[in-house]
Structure 1
Amino acid sequence: MDGDELTATLEEAGLSPYQADAFVTLLELGSASATDVAQASSVPDPRIYDVLRGLEEKGYVETYEQDSLHARAHDPADVLADLRSRADRFQTAAEEIEDRWSRPDLEDHRVSIVKRLDTVLARADELIREADNQVQVGLTPAQFDELADALEVARENGVNVKVSLFPELDSEPALPSTDALARTCAEARYRTLPAPFVALIDRSWTCFAPHGDSTNQYGVIVNDRTLAYVVHWYFLSCLWEVHETIYSDRREEPPITYVDLRRCLRDVEPLLADGVTIRTTVWGYDTNTGREVTQTGTITDVSYIDDVDDSRADATTESITLLQLSGKASLTVETDDGEVTVGGWGAMLEDIEAIEITITALE
């Protein structure tokens, strides 16, 4: 760095142009009279005394009398510490600007596009901790470790958490322990192929990012029920339905709680066929008014697509396939006030969109 660059940098650090020029001149001269400093720099003679005293107040030089006013550069330790501190603040400010640019104020946007996976994971962590009823998340074991604390908080708050684990490209993952899964989720499955990171929170928030080796690196954070419903079906079909269950805490005896109507429908249909009386409590929203409702009664019927073409589904399969549940799927519940129909996520034709269905008794 030449003298002009050093002078310009000192100006950026807070010195006036005359102060910066005088200080660089004193560094070269070592010690000199005020007159000599003025002659060797661009500082006018009438200004040199004020300039040197200003530098002395800032700790850059010290002045002394020797027939006339003299000055010499002060021990640079304090000056260097100040400059380095300023450099650190500039670096911190630069990083903060970059972070704020990459992470806009999500509360003011329904859709946010961000640059880094870290931003998506950080927002998913916040949303999972604040979840009210359900979380679905697809992630690698390393990402699971990052979100484990948030998932544990959600479980402690009574949230139903489903975890789909999958590997990084060209790597054999070390899966979480059974104890770790027990603390963080109600059920976990393992997919053998890599996949994008995805988190769905309370049927409203979606956090998505491509896998680490994707050509395009970005993240999407959306607060929208319709898009969340679309991603929910991606989660079911690609990350959940056909993959191995590696952990589950589902009860075999009542009370048994479901946040997915289609899973409930699969379990109750054979019980109805066997003549079992199924008592239930349904919590959700009235599809006409949008108001929160709770209904208690007896499940009397199930409805779903039961005439799927044999070429698209295995007709010999005894359990209901996901394809059969991809359209209209509902339960009928006989209550003290009459019959009500119960649909799942996004229900429009039924009386209630169920958020939680609890089987309270089997008789």
Structure 2
Amino acid sequence: MNPDELAATLEEAGLSPYQADAFVTLLERGSASATDVAQASSVPDPRIYDVLRGLEERGYVETYEQGSLQARARDPTEVLDDLRSRATRLEDAAEEIETRWTRPDIEDHAVSIVKRFDTVLTRANELIRSADHQIQIGLTPPQFDALEDALVAAREAGADVKLCLFPETAAEPSLPAAERLAEACTEARYRRIPAPFVALVDRSWTCFAPNRHSANEYGVLVNDRTHAYVFYWYFSTCLWDVYEPVYSARDDELPTTYVDIREALRRIESLLEEGRRIEATVEGFETDTGLETTASGTVTDVDYTGRSSGDGGAVPITQFAGKAAFALERDGRTRTVGGWGAIVEDVEAVRITLESAT
């Protein structure tokens, strides 16, 4: 670094142009009179005394009388500590600027657009770890690797995890082993064509980003139940209902728990058609007060907008796109149970446990 570059750098560190020039001059000479420093630098003669005193106050030089005012550069330890401290703060500021640029404050916004996919993946990781009851997620095997620990933590905490895997390109990927899927999800399915990344957490948060090979890289972070409901239907129809499981912790034995009323209705309707008496427990919220509630009783009826196929097969999820509810009776009192966003029913179900069917 030449003297001019060193002086310019010292200016960036807080010295005035005259102070920086005078200090570099003293570093080269060791010590000199004030007059000599002025002559060897760009500092005007009338200003040299103020410049040297300013440097002395900052610990860069020391002055002394020897017939005339003399100055010499001080032991650089303090100066070096100051410069290194400034460098650290600048580095910290650079990192903070990058963080704020890639991840804006989203707490007070329903929808935020971010510029990088990594921001979406980081936020998804945080939200998955804090999930209370359910996660629906569509992702590639490498993205599964990145989020696996968070998904395992969510499962261990009791969250229901639906996971759809798909390739990043047209090439067939290697899927995670069944043992890994068993720890990370309740059920996994596989879609053979690429799709956007999407994660829905507890019916409130959505993290979305286009396929990594899309022309534009961006992400959408949604903290809103109504917007999240739209992504729920994308997940259900495009990533879930039409694909067969590659792993499932579910079996036909009761009791079994559902976090999606539409999947519960499929099972309930088939059991009712067999003439079975179904005992169920519902955890959720009262729709008129918003208070948490738990209701148990006998399922007496189902009510949904579509129609059963009548052939014994699974009812397509689209048949439940409108009203989807069932009636729960106990001690002569009947309560209606709806799903996500229930308004006209008595209870919005978060978990539905079919206890028995006799």
CA distance in 1: counterparts of 2:334 and 2:11, whole angstroms: 80
Instruction: Give TM-score, length-normalised by structure 1.
Output: 0.86
- Shift of residue 239, structure 1, vs aligned partner: 0.9
SS at match of 2:154: helix
**Aligned partner (choices 339, 345, 348) of residue 350 of structure 1:** 345
- Shift of residue 356, structure 1, vs aligned partner: 1.0
CA distance in 2: counterparts of 1:285 and 1:122, whole angstroms: 30
**Aligned partner (choices 316, 323, 328) of residue 321 of structure 1:** 316
Deviations 1:164-201 (A, max 9, x none): 11121255433222222222211111111111111111
- Residues 176 and 56 from structure 1, CA distance in 2 versus in 1: closer, same or farther, beyond 3 angstroms? farther
Aligned residue for 1:360? Answer: 355
CA distance in 1: counterparts of 2:85 and 2:166, whole angstroms: 44
Q: Is the 8 A contact 2:111 2:223 kept in 1?
A: yes
SS at match of 2:298: strand
- Residues 185 and 60 from structure 1, CA distance in 2 versus in 1: closer, same or farther, beyond 3 angstroms? same
Q: Is the 8 A contact 2:298 2:329 kept in 1?
A: yes
SS at match of 1:194: coil
CA distance in 1: counterparts of 2:71 and 2:166, whole angstroms: 69
Deviates more, 1:117-126 or 1:39-48: 39-48
- Shift of residue 78, structure 1, vs aligned partner: 7.8
Deviations 1:135-180 (A, max 9, x none): 1111122222222222222112211111111121255433222222
Q: Is the 8 A contact 2:141 2:174 kept in 1?
A: yes
Deviations 1:66-118 (A, max 9, x none): 87666566787986676465345323312311311332222222222211222
Aligned residue for 1:223? Answer: 223
Q: What are the ranges of 5 or more consecutive residues in structure 1 without an aligned counterpart?
A: 309-313
Aligned residue for 1:12? Answer: 12
CA distance in 2: counterparts of 1:345 and 1:77, whole angstroms: 65
CA distance in 1: counterparts of 2:286 and 2:51, whole angstroms: 77
Aligned residue for 1:139? Answer: 139
- Shift of residue 260, structure 1, vs aligned partner: 0.8
CA distance in 2: counterparts of 1:334 and 1:41, whole angstroms: 94
Aligned residue for 1:341? Answer: 336
Aligned residue for 1:182? Answer: 182
- Residues 218 and 318 from structure 1, CA distance in 2 versus in 1: closer, same or farther, beyond 3 angstroms? same
Aligned residue for 2:326? Answer: 331
Task: Spell out the pairing of 1:1-363 with structure 2 (5 A cutoff).
Answer: 6-26=6-26, 32-45=32-45, 47-48=47-48, 51-52=51-52, 55=55, 83=83, 86-307=86-307, 318-363=313-358
- Residues 231 and 253 from structure 1, CA distance in 2 versus in 1: closer, same or farther, beyond 3 angstroms? same
CA RMSD of aligned residues (A): 2.9
SS at match of 2:104: coil
SS at match of 1:361: strand
Deviations 1:274-296 (A, max 9, x none): 22211111122223333322221
- Shift of residue 35, structure 1, vs aligned partner: 2.0
Aligned residues: 358
Deviates more, 1:76-85 or 1:257-266: 76-85
CA distance in 1: counterparts of 2:89 and 2:256, whole angstroms: 56
Instruction: Give TM-score, length-normalised by structure 2.
Output: 0.87
CA distance in 2: counterparts of 1:307 and 1:274, whole angstroms: 17
- Residues 3 and 159 from structure 1, CA distance in 2 versus in 1: closer, same or farther, beyond 3 angstroms? same
CA distance in 2: counterparts of 1:298 and 1:4, whole angstroms: 86
**What residue identity is the alignment partner of 1:222?**
V
CA distance in 2: counterparts of 1:66 and 1:174, whole angstroms: 81
**What residue identity is the alignment partner of 1:241?**
D
- Shift of residue 325, structure 1, vs aligned partner: 1.8
Deviates more, 1:252-261 or 1:168-177: 168-177
Q: Is the 8 A contact 2:160 2:186 kept in 1?
A: yes
**What residue identity is the alignment partner of 2:221?**
I
Deviates more, 1:235-244 or 1:299-308: 299-308
**What residue identity is the alignment partner of 1:169?**
T
- Shift of residue 217, structure 1, vs aligned partner: 1.6
Deviations 1:30-81 (A, max 9, x none): 7644322111223344654564465467665677888766656678798667
SS at match of 2:317: coil
**What residue identity is the alignment partner of 1:360?**
E
**What residue identity is the alignment partner of 2:329?**
E
CA distance in 2: counterparts of 1:67 and 1:175, whole angstroms: 85
SS at match of 1:198: strand
Deviates more, 1:335-344 or 1:57-66: 57-66
Deviates more, 1:6-15 or 1:52-61: 52-61
